[in-house]
Chain A
Amino acid sequence: MKLLPLQAALAAVLLSAAAGLSAKPLVVCTEGSPEGFDIVQYTTAVTADASAETVFNRLVDFRPGTTEIQPALAERWEISADGLTYTFHLREGVKFHTTDYFKPTRTLNADDVLWSFRRQLDPNHPWHDKSSVGFPYFESMGFKDLLKSVEKTDEHTVVFTLSRPEAPFLSDLAMAFTSIYSAEYGDQLLKAGKTGDLNSKPIGTGPFIFQRYNKDAQVRYKPNPDYFRGKPPADALIFAIASDNNVRLQKLKANECQVALYPKPDDIPSIKADPKLKVAEMEALTTGYISLNTEHKYLSDVRVRKAINIAFDRQTHVDQLFGKGNALVGVNPYPPTLIGYNTANRNPPRDLDKARALLKEAGVPPGTVLTLFTRNGGGATNPNPRLSAEMLQADLGKIGLKVDIRVMEWAEMLRRAKNGEADMVSTGWAGDNGDPDNFLTPLLSCDAVKSGENYARWCNRKFQALIDKARTITDANERAALYVEALAVYDEDQPWISMAHPKMFTAMRDNVEGYHINPLTNNNFATTQVK
């Protein structure tokens, strides 16, 4: 049947009215303002959520709610036998966003991938010097040394050549800093002398099209009708910025937002008890720990480190700090959801007499003072650093060790900890890519002693050889076996008190559907809607 013009118009009106009734905007209460939208210049999760997870895509990405890799802009790939060459075949027909500030003339091709990587890699690239602080994540992940070249072999095939085999490479390519930009848009901005617009008017292929950022108040997006995985169901996505977590919760209760990120662990029981609200929870890939400086007097003796580990009441600590059931007690440096978790390692039962005996054997005089650096504000891996430090102080006091707690501002603490000034440092780590190497190399390798991030200043050659080898192997089972062995070495030497692996939570209204909480703490709303 052919519709007459009047009938067609009427049908269109009715359809759009119906769409307007069924689709609703999704308001998400976020904890901070994005610093910008050119994600490669930044490292914070809030900026990644507002750009990488909404506007952009990468060659591969993490399957929602997991750390498994799935195809994204690359629909398939091959890895050479020596693990040095990765060939990616790009998805065809992927459209960049059309906005009032950019109208793409072509779909995604290999030039966009080259532009996105070479911009960060090649000092002669016209966009390389447009970032005043460089490309922090690209550089801190060692991509400058790792990537030998990025070339295209045809319009839809890109070849990455590495300087060494790197098993976590695919996982690295799912991280925000490898987001794929439009080379055409980049060229257009460069010609117009408006390079700053890349940071304020982003263009990508992602599920949402950027509309407006009202500084420190809200970011507005509309769904991308051409998204290669299908148009997101939410009528609009709005990030409402509310830095205080009490306020975020009140806004959620008042239905001013439908999703509230990062509620306080203390509030979880009351949220669960509210019939209009629900909570998504998952074990995050994070560890809260206290490093024991193995270069300092007394702590260089493994018996002293063992005594401290035996005296510390981890379970009470975790229950008090996070609330019962909101965190796992730490054993290894990373949580059990990652490969190679050594299940044979166990925390020794608390035994104060044994701890005292170990200290005596090591010649530690009663009343010995150990400094503990901790920060002034709480974070995901430790919501109350002062309480946590005081609990350790009380426990160690029972075996004759005095803990001198030094509470300091975050950056200052890290700077002094990197200089090795503390006996103990209370800190934490959030995994970036779901790979054990992302915990062990930055935090416990011999290289990290030199750069300072290994606050325990623990350099064990056997451990180092095992993690080095594991990094070059792509077979998951073989890698896992090597990590199990490496963690056994760690357990013998006990350079840390592994304290807790906190769960992460997202609170939402009960009519929110399709949200996947993510172990890597990023938030993607491509499939989320308000029913």
Chain B
Amino acid sequence: MLSFIARRLGLLIPTFFGITLLTFALIRLIPGDPVEVMMGERRVDPEMHAQAMERLGLNKPLPEQYLDYVGKLAQGDLGESLRTRESVWNEFLTLFPATLELAFAALVFAGVVGLLAGVIAALKRGSLFDHGVMGISLAGYSMPIFWWGLILIMFFSVSLGWTPVSGRIDLLYDIEPKTGFMLIDTLLSDEEGAFKDAVMHLILPAIVLGTIPLAVIARMTRSSMLEVLREDYIRTARAKGLSPARVVFVHGLRNALIPVLTVFGLQVGTLLAGAVLTETIFSWPGIGKWLIEAIGARDYPVVQNGILLIACLVILVNFVVDILYGLANPRIRHQR
């Protein structure tokens, strides 16, 4: 097991450097520099432009800039945002809890609904429910997030008035961000009704962000479940006279979950990518919105390090999934 973990860890180092090089290069491939973007239509005095680029360290040759960047990273220095002059790490820490809260809620929604729908569809294979779930999940998978978000807002928030339109909490509550997680902060605050309001604000964005993972999980669970239900040990379990629920959830689902677990890991990347759009629609102050604006402003330190931090997170989650997978299935860890 240890050598398996060591092998996996060994793979992380080149991946990490690959990401630093990729983010460094990609943001610089986009034409325009931070000073030009900031000035927009306005006159940019060449002298002022040169001075600003020098102050930002962007006048150096690219390899030198890259080495500076990696050197600072090695010391744990993620630099400052060129737009806001704030530390990138502080900005990330301020915004990440919002994204994490949203992603977690979306994953819970996708996991619970997706697993249930997948299992029932598998059990009632060929039924109207099965076709319905598969059709809806295909539609969900193909749904443009932007459109889906607006439709839900117009129906549930504006027409029915059941949920708020956007944001994390009603602005009349003045909640001091202590942990950054609104659900926790509202519980810690003594403002009555704030927690319920925060939950209401979370519902629509979580549904929108969780729709694609839900579709994937439902389809994956169904097919995996169908395969497992054909296995001999399921027949044996039934023959032993176990209750149908025990057969399905203990013997069936437990084994069907192995590929679904991998999908869960992969969905973390999808969730973070989807968060970019969901956060924009729902004015959710998370890292997705932060990165979009940083790309527009050519805020190199934010883009480079923001993407790096997210990539590290995705790598970490997948690493943990790999380990869990290895634990769950000994054949995996003895390969190679």
Indicate if the CB atoms of A243 and B283 lie closer than 8 Å.
Answer: yes
B38 within 8 Å of A (CB atoms): yes
Report A488 CB to chain B, min CB distance, Å: 26
A152 within 8 Å of B (CB atoms): no
A359 within 8 Å of B (CB atoms): no
B165-213 CB contacts (< 8 Å) to partner A = 165-168, 170-172, 174, 176-177
Q: What residues on B are CB-neighbors of A212 within 8 Å?
A: 174, 176
Indicate if the CB atoms of B289 and A216 lie closer than 8 Å.
Answer: yes
Indicate if the CB atoms of A27 and B171 lie closer than 8 Å.
Answer: yes
Q: A132-B52, A216-B285, A415-B32 are in contact. Are A140 and B85 (CB under 8 A)?
A: no
| Closest residue of A by beta carbon distance from B279 | A216
A427–B42 CA distance with the chains assembled, in angstroms: 12
Indicate if the CB atoms of B282 and A247 lie closer than 8 Å.
Answer: yes
A134–B55 CA distance with the chains assembled, in angstroms: 9
Indicate if the CB atoms of A250 and B31 lie closer than 8 Å.
Answer: no
- Selecting from B3-11, B43-51, B108-116, B251-259, the interface stretch reads B43-51
- Selecting from A168-176, A234-242, A361-369, the interface stretch reads A234-242
| Closest residue of B by beta carbon distance from A451 | B43
Q: What residues on B are CB-neighbors of A426 within 8 Å?
A: none
Chain A interface extent, by class: 35 or more
Q: What residues on A are CB-neighbors of B150 within 8 Å?
A: 246-247
A427–B41 CA distance with the chains assembled, in angstroms: 9
Q: A242-B166, A254-B161, A414-B41 are in contact. Are A216 and B85 (CB under 8 A)?
A: no
Residue among B41, B52, B172 having the largest count of chain A Cβ atoms under 10 Å: B41
For A136, give its contact among B31, B39, B177, B286 (CB under 8 Å): B39
Indicate if the CB atoms of A453 and B38 lie closer than 8 Å.
Answer: no
Q: What residues on A are CB-neighbors of B34 within 8 Å?
A: 133
B270 within 8 Å of A (CB atoms): no
Per DSSP, are chain B's interface residues mostly helix, strand or loop, or mixed? Answer: loop
A344 within 8 Å of B (CB atoms): no
A301 within 8 Å of B (CB atoms): no
Report A406 CB to chain B, min CB distance, Å: 13
For B42, give its contact among A41, A140, A243, A244 (CB under 8 Å): A140
Indicate if the CB atoms of A36 and B85 lie closer than 8 Å.
Answer: yes
B91 within 8 Å of A (CB atoms): yes
Q: What residues on B are CB-neighbors of A240 within 8 Å?
A: 167, 171, 283
A137–B42 CA distance with the chains assembled, in angstroms: 8
Report B77 CB to chain A, min CB distance, Å: 16
Indicate if the CB atoms of B31 and A412 lie closer than 8 Å.
Answer: yes
Report B266 CB to chain A, min CB distance, Å: 28
Q: A133-B52, A133-B56, A134-B48 are in contact. Are A244 and B280 (CB under 8 A)?
A: yes
Residue among A41, A247, A253, A428 having the largest count of chain B Cβ atoms under 10 Å: A247
Indicate if the CB atoms of B43 and A448 lie closer than 8 Å.
Answer: yes
Indicate if the CB atoms of A247 and B82 lie closer than 8 Å.
Answer: no
B298 within 8 Å of A (CB atoms): yes
Indicate if the CB atoms of A35 and B166 lie closer than 8 Å.
Answer: no
A65 within 8 Å of B (CB atoms): no
Residue among A139, A212, A217, A448 having the largest count of chain B Cβ atoms under 10 Å: A217
Indicate if the CB atoms of B55 and A133 lie closer than 8 Å.
Answer: yes
Interface string of B83-94 (1 = CB under 8 A from A): 111100001001
B68 within 8 Å of A (CB atoms): no
| Closest residue of A by beta carbon distance from B170 | A256
Residues of B within 8 Å of A, CB-based: how many?
Answer: 58
Indicate if the CB atoms of A242 and B51 lie closer than 8 Å.
Answer: no
A403-444 CB contacts (< 8 Å) to partner B = 409-412, 414-415, 427-429, 442
A164 within 8 Å of B (CB atoms): no
Q: A134-B52, A411-B32, A412-B31 are in contact. Are A250 and B283 (CB under 8 A)?
A: no
A242-268 CB contacts (< 8 Å) to partner B = 242-244, 246-247, 250-251, 253-254, 256-257
Report B314 CB to chain A, min CB distance, Å: 22
A199–B81 CA distance with the chains assembled, in angstroms: 13
A220 within 8 Å of B (CB atoms): yes
Indicate if the CB atoms of B171 and A256 lie closer than 8 Å.
Answer: yes
Q: What residues on B are CB-neighbors of A214 within 8 Å?
A: 177, 285
Q: What residues on A are CB-neighbors of B94 within 8 Å?
A: 215
B214 within 8 Å of A (CB atoms): no
Q: What residues on B are CB-neighbors of A32 within 8 Å?
A: 293
For B157, give its contact among A220, A238, A244, A254 (CB under 8 Å): A254
B154 within 8 Å of A (CB atoms): yes
Indicate if the CB atoms of B40 and A247 lie closer than 8 Å.
Answer: no
Indicate if the CB atoms of A256 and B165 lie closer than 8 Å.
Answer: yes
Indicate if the CB atoms of A132 and B82 lie closer than 8 Å.
Answer: yes
A393 within 8 Å of B (CB atoms): no
Q: What residues on A are CB-neighbors of B80 within 8 Å?
A: 132
A212–B41 CA distance with the chains assembled, in angstroms: 31
| Closest residue of A by beta carbon distance from B80 | A132
Indicate if the CB atoms of A253 and B285 lie closer than 8 Å.
Answer: no
Indicate if the CB atoms of A215 and B95 lie closer than 8 Å.
Answer: yes
For A250, give its contact among B45, B165, B170 (CB under 8 Å): B165
Q: What residues on A are CB-neighbors of B41 within 8 Å?
A: 414, 427-429, 442, 453
A155-210 CB contacts (< 8 Å) to partner B = 196, 199-200
For B32, give its contact among A412, A442, A451 (CB under 8 Å): A412
Indicate if the CB atoms of A247 and B174 lie closer than 8 Å.
Answer: no
A238–B39 CA distance with the chains assembled, in angstroms: 28
A453–B285 CA distance with the chains assembled, in angstroms: 35
A241–B298 CA distance with the chains assembled, in angstroms: 21
A293 within 8 Å of B (CB atoms): no
A247–B149 CA distance with the chains assembled, in angstroms: 10
Q: What residues on A are CB-neighbors of B98 within 8 Å?
A: 217
Indicate if the CB atoms of B35 and A133 lie closer than 8 Å.
Answer: yes
Task: Known A-B contacts: A250-B157, A250-B166. Give 16 more (CB < 8 A).
Answer: A132-B55, A133-B55, A140-B43, A212-B176, A215-B95, A217-B168, A242-B167, A243-B283, A247-B281, A250-B165, A251-B165, A256-B166, A410-B32, A412-B30, A415-B32, A453-B42
11 A-B contact pairs sorted by A residue (CB < 8 Å): A43-B42, A133-B55, A136-B48, A196-B86, A220-B174, A238-B171, A240-B167, A250-B165, A410-B37, A411-B32, A415-B32
Nearest first, the 8 A-B pairs at minimum CB distance are A411-B32, A216-B285, A412-B31, A217-B285, A242-B283, A140-B42, A133-B52, A251-B165
